[in-house]
Amino acid sequence: MSDDARRAGAAPAHGSVGPSDPTADPVTDPGMLPVALPDATAPTEPVPSTTRRSRTGGLWVGLILPAIVLLLLLVFILQNGAPVQISFFAFDGVLPLGVALLLAAIAGILLVAIPGSLRILQLRRAARRGASRDG
């Protein structure tokens, strides 16, 4: 009985495979064109953002990130509170391990930052001198 229903033009129970109009032409009917999938190797353009960044948003991120870093440093110092003997040239003392390691890290940062900052200032002066000679 199901064969008779299919022959009569009724849609099959499992769905159809082709277009509902067998004489439809994909060239003249744009709705029948296959959807092109993006090529994985082709460069994709960034989607324009609908929201604009603001100074307040930047300030918020600029406040939250250092607060998280300070919180992590506080946890580090509190978890490493065992006293250690520190000797540096003529200075002797006892500090908690976390504080001693933090001071050593700060000293290392300063050893890199001070000469780097001096070099940046030197390059800025040279750039200003070169710009004033050209103008």
Domain ranges of the chain: 101-135
User: Looking at residue 131, what is its pLDDT?
Assistant: 79
User: Looking at residue 54, what is its pLDDT?
Assistant: 80
- Contact (CB, 8 A) for 123 and 132: no
84-99 CB burial, b ≥16 within 10 A, e <16: eeeeeeeeeeeeebbb
* Ranges under pLDDT 70 in the chain: 1-22, 26-27, 30-49, 134-135
Over residues 41-67, the pLDDT tens digits come to 666 666 666 777 788 888 888 889 989
The Cβ of residue 80 has, within 10 Å, a number of other Cβ atoms equal to 15
Task: Name the β-bridge partners of 96.
Answer: 83
